Each structure stands twice: as structure tokens, then as C-alpha cells.
Chains A and B, each alone.
Chain A
Amino acid sequence: MIRFLHTADSHLDSPMRGLEAYEGAPVAALREATRRAFEGLVALALDEQVDFVVIAGDLYDGDWRDFSTGLFFTRQMARLHEADIPVYLIAGNHDAASVLTRRLTLPPNVHAFSTRAPESLTVPGRPVVIHGRGFPHRAVPENLVPDYPAPVPGSLNIGLLHTSLTGAPCHDAYAPCTLRDLTEKGYDYWALGHVHQPQVLARDPWVVFPGNLQGRHIRESGPRGAWLVTVGEGREILAAEHRHLDVVRWARVMVDVAGLADPTELPGRIGEALQAALADADGRPLAARVTLTGATARHDQLKRDLPQVRADCLGQAQVVAGDGIWVEEVEVATTPLYDLADLAARDELTGIVLEALHAAGEGDLALPAEAQEMLRVLPPEIRSDIEAELRGEGRAALLGDVRAILLETLARRGGAE
């Protein structure tokens, strides 16, 4: 029986994004999270005494030039070397751009595939042949699969490839190929990398994206880890098990506030939802985006009092888990109970405000001078995020928030009535 670990996209030392530091936030838990997750991978390989490990690219972040990241990787590989566990890796698009890939001296148990042409490596003492090729450049627009060697008869054939397939959602095309290209190649297992969401595309043969080791932002919510694959004597895949290795779990926590009669009940509902999410994280610290949903008469009030709602969320996070939950963002995605047409017809003034907001949804949106000044001083990467809200669907949501704030402020006559 043969056992191996399949991982990819560790993006070592890649930071957690979108988490604003605040008093009581679990800063320590998130520090070096990608390193801790990678250490977990090595510990899993040692505990399970696997025969080898395959890494399907993107060890590093392309624009990250800190050499200590590479040194960390070599130290971890040295642990596997002491246990006589070989490692096979290919360069992904990020690695191709990384200075670390070119300058780092790897331990003897680590075998990096060529970036110029596909090659095949045999695992010593095992009937296993691994075929692979790394990315020579950040962009590889051509299909690499046709050039991969033919399967070796009598051996377990594993294809190691960094690819976006035909283009995964939210990902650019890298070494594009079709699922059929892969399944017809004759290999037993395709160990893919690049797409961060873990998924099994096929089981005959196995085509697997392991996902990344550690979620780094809210779009990478849910469990993250590596695949532990068990191969039978007849080289058939007996089991493929996704082992969770993330040290911090990203989660979207939905709080239904429909029918909420008493606003003082809101913190309690938030607390219950956070408690449930925390239970799903198997004891890991949680980086959570709290989203309030449902149709409610307090829609405008929630939008207007967003800072207070956020304070309630932080307070509940403290109550539920102490420093075990980091609230990434609080999102009010509720819907109002009123009908905008009725409001517009009721009185002239509300009507013209709503009409102006509606008109602002199309055409040019003139920003007030103070808003322009604020945008001017923002760092470019943040400014682009904010400016994105002024276009397309972002603008509709933005104007929806503005409308709610205005209606609530008018209804409240400016103060907290």
C-alpha cells in the first residue's frame, strides 16, 4: 500500500486580508498562519508516515521577496528529509515570478520539475512515476498536457500540473486545458494546483484540486488543507481524504433579522450565529464576516447605525469566544419592508430625494469635493476598491446604503429619536 500527500497553493507568508485590527482581536492567532498551516502539513506527513509528498505549485507569493520565507520552506523540507520522505514540486505562476524559486538551495529530498519541458521522476523503491512541468513564466497561455509523457505501464502514474483548467470562476487562465485532456491522458491521479477551492473533478481517473492550505480572505472561507491519498497493491486509489490543516477558519456568518421586533434582541441573534460558526470551525480561531439578512422594518436603521451594529458584533464575539473570533466585516444585507414607490408618492420631498438617488444610479455620479479629496489621499490600492463601488453593481449597493442612511436620518429628524 502506498500513501502520499497532495497539496498546492500554500502561498507562504501571504498575509490575511481584510481584517482590521481592533482591541480584543485575536492578532496572535493569525500571525504567520500560512507557516503554521504548512508546519501542520509536514507534521501530517510524518505522523501518517507517507511515502512521498507532491506540491502542485504556488509555494510563495510572486511579489514577496523575503528570503526568510524560502529558508522556512527548506527547514520544513529538512524535517521530511530526516524521515526519508521525498517531495516532488512544480513551480506555479506565483513561483515563476518569485525570486525565492531561483535563489533557494533545496534539500536533497526535494525534486523540482523542469520548467522547460515535462519530465518524469520515479519515486525510489515504489512503483510510482510522477510526471510534471513547472511554470517558466508568470503567464503560460498554452496547454501543457499534450506534451506530458505517456504513462509508464505497471506503475502508478501521477500528473503534477498547475492549471486553471478552462478558467475557473474568479481566476485567470493559466496553462489552460480541459478535463477531458486530463482524463484521457491515461494517468491514475492528476494532482492539480492553482484553484484555491478544494474540489474533486473526477474519480476515474482522479482529478483533484486540493485548494490552498490556509484561507487568507473572506472569499477563501471554509475548511482548507491537503489530500491524503491511499493507493492499493493494484495501484488503484483506495481512498482520498481531505485533511483540514488551516489554523484559522474563514467563515461567512449569516444572521437572519427578519421579524426582529425588539432591537435589543439583535446582539443575542448575532451571538447565536457566531457560536454555531465557531462550533463548525473545530476549535480553530474564526475570521468571520457577519451578514445581517432578511426583510425588516429596521433596514434603514441598521444601515444608519452600522458602527453600533459593528460594536454589537465585536461585543458578541468577545462574549462567545473571547479572543477566538476576529470580526472581519459587518455587512447589512437586509431588505426594507416599505415600497419605494409608495414613499415617493407620499410626499414631494421624499419623492425628489428618491428620484435623485435613482437618477444617480445611471450616468455620471458627481462626487462632492470632500469625497474627491478623501479619494485623492487614499493609497491607490484602497482607492481602487472604493472607486469600484462607484461603478456597476457596486454603485447600486452604494446608493442603496446612501438611501437608507438618508431615509433613516430624515425619519429620525437628525437625532436619535
Chain B
Amino acid sequence: MRFERLAIPAYGPFTGFVLELPAEGADFHLIYGPNEAGKSSLLRAIRDLLYGIHGQTPDNFIHDYKDLRIAATIAAADGRRLTFQRRKGNSRTLLDAQGEALPDDALAGWLGVVDRDFFTTVFGLGAEELRRGAEALLHGHGELGQALFSASLAGTPVHRILAALEAEARTLFNGRARTNVRIRPAIAAYEEAQRRSKEAVVRPEAWEAVQRALAEAGAERDRLDAELLARRQRRDWLQRCLDALPLLGRLAEQEGRRRALPDLPEVAPDFVATTEAALAARVRAQAETDRLRARIALLERRVQDSEPNAAVLAEAAVIEALHQRLAVYRQWCDELVGLETDGADAEQRLRGGMRDLGVEGEPEAVEALRVQAGDAPRLGEVATALDTAEAARQANRDAAQQAREDLERSEARLAALPEEEVTALRAALSATAGAAESAKGLAEREAAVATARAKVDRQRDLLSGAPGEAAVACALPVPAAATLRQHEAERERLGRDRERVAERLAEAEERLRQIDGQGRQRPTSIEPPPLAVDLAEADVVAQAEELRLQGQEAEAARSAAQAEAATCEAALADWDRRWRGLWAPCGLTPATPAEMLDWRDQWLELRARDEAWRAAVDELARARTEVDTALGLLRARLPPNLPEVQGASLVELRALAEGRVRAADQAQGARVTLQGQADDQRLELARCEAAEPGLAAALTEARAAWAEVGAGLGLPPLGTAAGLALLEQRRQLVAELDAWMGLCRQIAGKRQAVADYAAAVDSAAERLGLPVGVVQVREAALWAALEAARAQRTRRDQARTDLTDEQAQRPGLEQALADAERRVAEACAEAGAEDGVGLAALLDQLKGRQGIDTEIARLREALHVAARGEPLDAFIERVRAEPADALAAEAAGLDQAIAAHQAERDRAIERLAGAQEEGARLERTGAEAAEHRQAALATAAGIRQDAARCLRLQLAQHFLREQIERFRRDSQAPLLARAGALFAAITAGRFEGLGTAFTADDTPVLVGRRAGREVAVEAMSDGTRDQLYLALRLAAIERHQRHHEPLPVIFDDLLATFDDGRAAAILPILSEFGRTSQVLLFTHHRHLVEIARAGLPPDGLHVHALADGEPAAERG
């Protein structure tokens, strides 16, 4: 398919745009347009035309979405032709030439299965994609399969894809690594959890043993408990007896004393207490009555002696008022003295001011100098205006003088600057910059060559058994690593098989031994049981039969294992033979695969070092050539008469040239700066001279205004500063007058208040007959008299109150005394005493008898504790029946026996607790077993998920590698041949083509062929690598076009990074490409058009100028 015509009625910057793409000659169209001419929009338009306008396209900045239209006429190789339009929308966006809707899949037959993304990436190529593709080549180390695959898949970075898959897979599993991976540590955790679960499992035997221990310990404890109880009960009775015996002795003694008492009258139990209380009450009542009577007499005398001064109390209100105002009076006196002093000072300052200003007469004459409120500011304004005008005129004169002097200095410095032309010298410096870097590194490169050679030699020495010459050793046909790993894996597998077979053999033999052992304890015959035999016997017979069958199975397993062991040994011998054969071409006797892998690594290292040495030698030669060329160029550009040019090194010549260029640049910079300064100074001088007349007129006007205002205020003709100072002195004198008059008024008021207070004090003192004195003394006498009268009145009132209270208590006390007398008389009558003395003696005897009774009761109560509920008299009888003297000895013996018994019981309880603890532990452990198993399964779930994921990633990586290799095998020959031819053409013959080489691990890599040598991708310059990638891409596109309906190929600024020579080499190839497919090359470099026209035949291209959305077609 090719475009015959592109028409864009409305899209992006285009309005009515038409691009005719004739097919005559090469179908190669160079579309030139400066930046912003619409090239990017045209590219988007082509894609949107074929695949639909994007829903949020930004190309609606001129035309509304609904108006967007792109049209084209396309043609196929078989002559089909279609003219259609595309509008924006969700469906039926394809229209025919008349605007009628076409089916949405109308272009399917033209585009095939190429979708928008594929079209964009495979049939479009720009400078950026070219750069990325070349970098991918470099990162892939030129690995051939990847290079071809990547170029054929629009630059897809295969190495990155493989790395991404491998990186994710290695986070899960990475060989023997146990860190930064998931699966191996998880397996360890899984096995650990399983081991813990097995360890925690409670066996029935363990549980039953614990149960037995529990029962035995319980029985022992119960037996010991019963025996201990009997001994403790006897010990307890003995203790009760021992506790009771002292009490029983004291009880017998008290009972004897009771019996020895004389006969006494029987009285109420509380007789002694009530009688003693009555006697004590009588004594207390008599004492209280006597004290009250004496108190009443004392209070009556105090009332009579405490009458206050009535005259003073009558003047109380007046005296209190005078006393309250006394502090105010004292303050007035102090203030009056201060005011009189201030008044004298103010008058003195006022009169001094009058003298200074020449004012005569009394102070009131100053009033004539008072100035009105608005006059003073007006005078200030006029004075400021006059000062400003004078300062402005002086500043202008100073600035003019400064500008004049600066201008003279700048002109003198300009005249003194030198001039020199250094353009050619500068270009030479730029051209030799790379060579200078090379010159600096010459010694380093020479050292690198020597070092690389030494490394080669050292590495060769490490290779045991290899030829002595490094080049010969490098050429050995060493087997590939994959081959060695396969042998290693096979050897390991065979080893594991042998171990596994040995284990099975051992297991089978062990099983046979176990079965033989069990067989000796069980019936070996399998006679059918009689009908009457019970079911237990039937089970035994069945188990014997099962045992026999298991024996047969074990025998079979052992035989099978022995056969497998023989097979394993044969396989191992075969492996060894093949292994030695593998190394025979190298002339080596191989060690183990692991050791030979290490040997091979060393051999690879030798090859790498040998290659590095060769590269270092090439690099050194190139640098030396570059330095010689630079020396010639610089000598030609420097003046020949300079003595330091001859015999100088490149670095010295460049330093000399740089110094000359730098000096010329500095002089030029100073000249520009000084010219700018002189221009500014001339402008400043002109400005000052223009301002002078205006400033003089403003000064004259300000002076006239000042004279007019000063006269209005009665001021003499003075300057602005003196006039303003005189006005300020007058204002201050008027203020002094105002202050002096205010003080005079305050002094008169204070004198009147002091006199009024003194008169009131004297009047009150006269009425009470107090002696004459100063005001404050008489007021103090008045206040003292009032306080004394009030205190006397208070004492009298308190005595009256106390007397009333005491008299109220008197009847009660006299009644209490009478009652006490009556109760004593009644007690005498009850006891038969004649009087109080007889009553007291009888009371002493009755108290003695009560004490004995109380002690007897207390002792019996104490014995109740030891009796512990047993009837007391029966208990006493039982205790008295025991042999009192032997009780203590028996108790001591029992204590020892109980202690020994207790220790034995404690041990039994410990055994019981131990068994219980073991039981509890087993139950806990059992739960732990299930938990560990659950944890193991949880871990297993994770391993399963990770392993499944890892397997997929490994397979994806494996498949991709395999198919890359397959693609290489299938397409290497034609693709590499075509890409090689293109590469030779693009590099203008510097390279003869492309080829393959093999890395140390037998991986085929892409190399360029130049002058009969192979050049690795890493050794190519960036530009050459770009050319290589372009050759690969063009070959891949050609290959695709051959197998599919050709589609237009669009190159967007493809040659932007190519110099003219390289671009000239590529353009004929693109033109040739246009003979089979349509090629559109967009560029914004005008010179590329010239190069194309110069380098291609007239029918080799079509040029279209794209300016402001309008094309102008022209024939190449």
C-alpha cells in the first residue's frame, strides 16, 4: 500500500492542505519544513487517518472536533485504489470521497493485522529510536540473536526484557543463594515447622504413662494424708491438755479463796457500783454549789465599779469625724509648702525670659507675644521650600562636573586598548581539543598496553595443561559451559540416583529385618480360623497374613533396588567415557565438571584479557596519529616568527595559542565595556546642563515667600534658621506665663482648707475642757478620751451578762446536792449500815468477793477455748484424767513424727504435681503441634505460589531465549547478508560488511568487518553503531515487506545526528528502498535537501517543502 495523495481539510494547523505523492521514479519523498511547520502534526494525521482520530486529540486548536477531517487516496501493488476520509467519532468514522459512511473495517484489507502501535513502532523510525536501538546493541554486547530480534521488533530491547524476567525470577529463586530470594528460605522455614510439629506431637504412650504416674502419686498422697490426720488429732488433744492445765490450777485456787470468805449480806449485783456513784455525786454537788456562790458575789462588785464617762460618749461622732480627716489635713500642709516653692521658681524663670527678650513691666505683659495657631506651620513650610531649592541647584552643578571628568578618563582608556584577529587560531584550537586529550593519555595508554600484556601472561600461567602460547591457548576448542553444566547435572543426577537406590535398598532390608522380628512373636501360619474362634483370634490371624504380604513386598523392593543399583553404576561408567571424549580435542585430561567449569572460567578470562590487550594496542596507535595531525595544524596557525613554536609539544603549543586567543578576547571585552560607559557619561552631562535654568527660577521664588511671611509675624529680616529660632523662644515664654498663673491659684485654695480644720478641733476640745495646744496634739487628746470611755462601757456590760448566767445555774446545783444526799441515805438503809462510815467498810468487803467471782468466770471462759465446744465440766474431767507430767514428752515425740510424715507427703504431692504438669504440658504441646503444622502449610502455600510464579518467569525467559536463537538460525544468513550490504553502503565502504564471531561461551555475536578484521560492537564509535542499527532495521523492514503487503515507511528527522558525509551515504539507500516501498523522510535541515539533490539522480527522490501548513512539491 502507498499513499498517492494526502488531503487534510481540517486537522491541527492544516486547513485545506494537500500533498501529492507521485510514484514516478523512486517512491522516496523528502518532506522539508522548518520547525513549527507542521511535520509532527502531519505524522499524527497519517496515523489518525489509518487508525482513527484519538478521542482527546490535541489537534483541535483551530478546528472543532466535529470538523476534523483527514483524507487520502491509497493504492495497492495489485492496482486497487481507494479514496476515503476520516472524521472524529466513536463509530462509522470512515467516509468515502462523497462523505458517505464506509464500514469501520474498510481498511482491514489494506492494513492486514498491523495495528496502530505496530505501525508506529515498526514502520516509523526517528533519531531518538535510532539512538535507543544502538544503545540496546551495545548493552546486548552485540549478541547476534538479540540484535537481529531486537531490530526486527522495532528496537525492542531484548536484553532488557530478558533482564526484567530474570530479575523477577531471581527474587524468588536464584540457584543456591539463600539471601534476597524467597523460595529457599521458605523451604527451610517449612521444614523447620514440620520438624517442630513432629516434636510437639503427643504420643498415646506418653499420655498413658502420665496418667499412670498421676494415679500412683494420688494414691500415695491419700494414704499419707490419712495417717497424718490421726497423728495430728492426737497432737492436737495433747496441746489442748497442755493449754488447759495451768488454767485449771488457777481455777482451783480461786475456788478455795471464795470458800474462805465471811458471810456478807446479799445485795443487788450493782449495789457496790451504784452506792459508790451516789457518794461521789454528793461530794461533787457540794463543791459546785460553793464555787457558784463565790462567783456571784464577785460579779456584783464588778458591775458597781465600771461606770463610763457620758460627756465624752456624747461627742463621739464629732471626734471620730475629726480623727478621720487628720491624715488629709497633714497632706494639705505638706502640699502647701511644695506649691509655694514651685510658685517662686516659676516667677523667677518668667522674669528671666522677659529680660532675655527685652519685655519690661509685670509678668502679665508677656501675653502680648502670644502667636496664633496657624502662623507657625506656614512659616515652617516656606523655610523648607527655600532650603530645598538651594540644595537642588547645588547638586545639579556637582553632578555636571563629575560627568565631565569621568568622560575624559574613559576616552583616554579606549585610546590605549590593542587589537588582534584570532578567528583562525580559535578554530585550530577547537579542532585539536580531542588530540590534546589523547596526548595527555599517551603515557597511560602505553602503560595500559604493558599491563594488559602482563595480565595475559599471568592468566596463561594459571591455565594448567594449556599450550604455552597465549594465542594458541585462546584458540583451543573448549566445550561450551552449557555442555559442561549438562554433564555436571547428569553426573549429579546419576549420583543422586545411586544414593536414592542405596537408601531404598537399605530401607527394604531394614523393613525385612523388622518383619522378621515381628514374625517371631506372631503365628506364621494362616490356617483359616474355626467357625467358633472368637473375633480377637481372627484379628491376630489377619495381622499375620498382612505381615506376610508386607514381607513379600519388601523382598520385591530389595530386588528392584539391587537391579537399579547395577543400572546406575553402568550409567556412571558411560558418563565417564563420554566426559573424557569431550576434552580429547583440547588435549586435556579432564577433572570433575565443577573443576573444569572453573578451568573454563579461567580460560575465558584469558581470552578476555587477550582481547583487551589487542584493543589497548590499537587505541595507542590511533592516539599517536591524532596527536601528530594536531601539531601540524597548530604550527600553521601561529605566527612563524615566534621562537617558542619550534620544537614545542602539543600541550605547549595549545597553551601558547590559548594565551593569545584569551588576550584578544579580553581586549575586545574591555573595549565594549568602556564604550558603553562613555556613552552613559555624555548623556549625564547633557541632562545636568538642561536642568540648570529651571532650578535658578525656583530659588528666587522661595526667597520672596519667606520674606513676606516673616514680616507678617513681626519678625526682623533674618535667615530661615534664625527666624524660626526666635519664634520658638517667644512660644516658650508664653508657656512659662501660663504655668506661673496656675500655681498661684492652687496655693490660695490649700491655705483656706487648713484653717477650717484647726477651727473645728479647737471647738470640740473647749467643750470637753481639754488643755490648750497645737491642732494635732488637741486632736490626739480628743481621740484618747473617746477610746477610754468606750472600753469602760464594754467591761461593765460583760460583768452584767456573766452575773445573769451564774444566777440562773444556782437552783439546779442545789437540787443535785439534795438528790445525792437522798441516794446515800437509801443505800445505808439497804445494807443495814448506820451511817456513811459503816457503809464504806461494807462496800470494801463486797468488792473483794466480786473480784474472786470475776476471776473464776474468766478462767472458765478461757478453758472454753481449749474445750472447743465440748461441755466444759466434761472437758475438765477428761483433762484431769490425763497424766499431766507425761503430756509434754508425748507431744514432743509426736511433733517429730508429724514433721517426718509431712515431708514424705510433700514429696508425694510434688510427684503428683509433676505428673499433672506433665499432663498439662502434653495438652499444650499437642495444640502446638497442630499450630506448627498449620504454620508449615501456610509456608507451603507461599512456596507453591512463588514456585508457580518462578516457573512461569523461567519458562518465559527460556522460551524467549530459544526463539531468539531460532530466529537467528532461520534468518541469520539472509538478514545478515542484507544488513551487511546496507552497512557497507551506509559507511561509504569503511566497513566491508557484517559477520559473526563467538564469545568465550560460544555465543554468536555481531561484528563489523573492516580491512579484513572483525570489529566488535563495543569497539565501534557511537555514530558507527547508529549506522549499524539503521542497517539492521532497514534489512528487517525489507524482510517484513517481502512477506506482507508493503506499507509506507516514515522516517522522522532520522538523519538529525548524522554529519553530511554520513547523510550523503544513507540517502541513496533510502532512495533505493523507495523502489520497493513508499518512503517518507521528514526533515527540518535545508542542507539535507541540497545533499539529496546533489547525490541522487533526478528520478531518485521527490522533495516537498512544507511551510505554514502548505506543501510545495518539486522534483529532485
Contact = CB atoms under 8 A, between A and B. Distances in A.
A66 B926 contact: yes
Interface string B141-153: 0000000010011
B933 interface: yes
Contacts of A306: 949
A170 interface: no
Given A67-B926, A385-B944, A413-B160, A31 B954 contact: no
Interface string B956-981: 11111011001100110000000000
Given A374-B173, A377-B184, A409-B161, A67 B959 contact: no
A215 to B, nearest CB: 14
Contact of A352 (B937, B953, B966, B1039): B966
Contact of B923 (A71, A348, A349): A71
Contacts of A15: 930, 933-934, 937
Interface string B182-213: 01100100110000000011111011100000
A356 B206 CA distance: 60
A347 B123 CA distance: 12
Contact of A103 (B183, B204, B942, B954): B204
Contacts of A103: 204, 208
A379 B946 CA distance: 13
Contacts of B161: 409-410, 413-414
Contacts of A372: 489
A116 B536 CA distance: 10
A378 B953 CA distance: 17
Contacts, number: 203
Most chain-A Cβ atoms within 10 A of its Cβ — which of B184, B926, B951?
B951
Interface string B914-937: 000000001101110111011101
Nearest to B186: A20
A315 B948 CA distance: 22
B489 A409 contact: no
Most chain-A Cβ atoms within 10 A of its Cβ — which of B152, B947, B960?
B947
A352 B967 contact: yes
Contacts of B923: 68, 71
Contact of B929 (A68, A349, A360, A414): A68
A402 B164 contact: no
Nearest to B962: A356
Contacts of A373: 173, 175
B655 interface: no
A409 B959 CA distance: 13
Interface size class of B (residues with CB under 8 A): 35 or more
B164 A347 contact: no
A406 B959 contact: yes
A23 interface: no
A345 interface: yes
Given A66-B201, A370-B175, A374-B183, A71 B926 contact: yes
Contacts of A413: 156-157, 160-161
A66 B930 contact: yes
Contact of B113 (A18, A342, A374): A342
B729 interface: no
B187 A360 contact: no
B938 A378 contact: no
Contacts of A352: 963, 966-967, 970
Given A19-B941, A306-B949, A415-B160, A67 B207 contact: yes
Contacts of A347: 118, 122, 152-153, 1040
Contacts of A70: 204
Contacts of B927: 32, 68
Contact of A21 (B165, B200, B935): B935
Contacts of B938: 16, 19-21, 27
A371 B955 contact: yes
B1015 interface: no
B943 A402 contact: no
Nearest to B172: A374
B149 A16 contact: no
Contact of A409 (B165, B485, B935): B165
B114 interface: yes
Nearest to B954: A371
Contacts of A399: 955
B933 A379 contact: no
A346 to B, nearest CB: 4
B325 interface: no
B943 A379 contact: yes
A227 B207 CA distance: 34
Interface string A7-26: 00000010111111110000
A2 interface: no
B113 A65 contact: no
Interface in B481-497: 485, 489
A405 interface: yes
A306 B956 CA distance: 15
Nearest to A401: B952
A384 to B, nearest CB: 11
Contact of B204 (A99, A345, A346, A385): A99
A319 interface: no
Contacts of B941: 17-20, 328-329
A382 B203 CA distance: 27
A311 interface: no
A233 to B, nearest CB: 39
A69 B926 contact: yes
B933 to A, nearest CB: 5
A369 B485 contact: yes
Interface string A69-106: 11110000000000000000000000000011001100
B138 to A, nearest CB: 16
B112 A16 contact: no
Contacts of B117: 411
Nearest to B482: A369
Given A371-B955, A377-B184, A21 B942 contact: yes
A343 B118 CA distance: 11
B938 to A, nearest CB: 4
Given A66-B926, A100-B204, A405 B149 contact: no
Contacts of B949: 306-307
Contacts of B951: 371, 374, 386, 389, 398
Contacts of A104: 204
B945 interface: yes
A372 B1040 CA distance: 37
Interface string A135-158: 000000000000000000000000
Contacts of B204: 67, 70, 99-100, 103-104
Contacts of A67: 202-204, 206-207, 922, 926
Contact of A346 (B118, B165, B947, B955): B118
B939 interface: yes
Most chain-A Cβ atoms within 10 A of its Cβ — which of B117, B118, B937?
B937
B206 A348 contact: no
B535 interface: yes
B301 interface: no
Nearest to A371: B954
B1032 to A, nearest CB: 14
A104 to B, nearest CB: 8
A369 B489 contact: yes
B940 interface: yes
Nearest to A386: B947
CB-CB nearest 6 A-B residue pairs: A68-B926, A414-B160, A20-B942, A103-B204, A414-B161, A368-B958
Given A328-B941, A367-B954, A409-B161, 5 more contacts: A345-B112, A348-B1039, A349-B153, A370-B173, A382-B947
11 contacts: A15-B930, A15-B934, A21-B939, A22-B942, A66-B926, A67-B203, A367-B954, A374-B951, A381-B940, A406-B959, A410-B153
Interface of B: 112-115, 117-118, 122, 149, 152-153, 156-158, 160-165, 169, 173, 175, 183-184, 187, 190-191, 200-204, 206-208, 485, 489, 535, 538, 922-923, 925-927, 929-931, 933-935, 937-945, 947-960, 962-963, 966-967, 970-971, 1039-1040, 1043
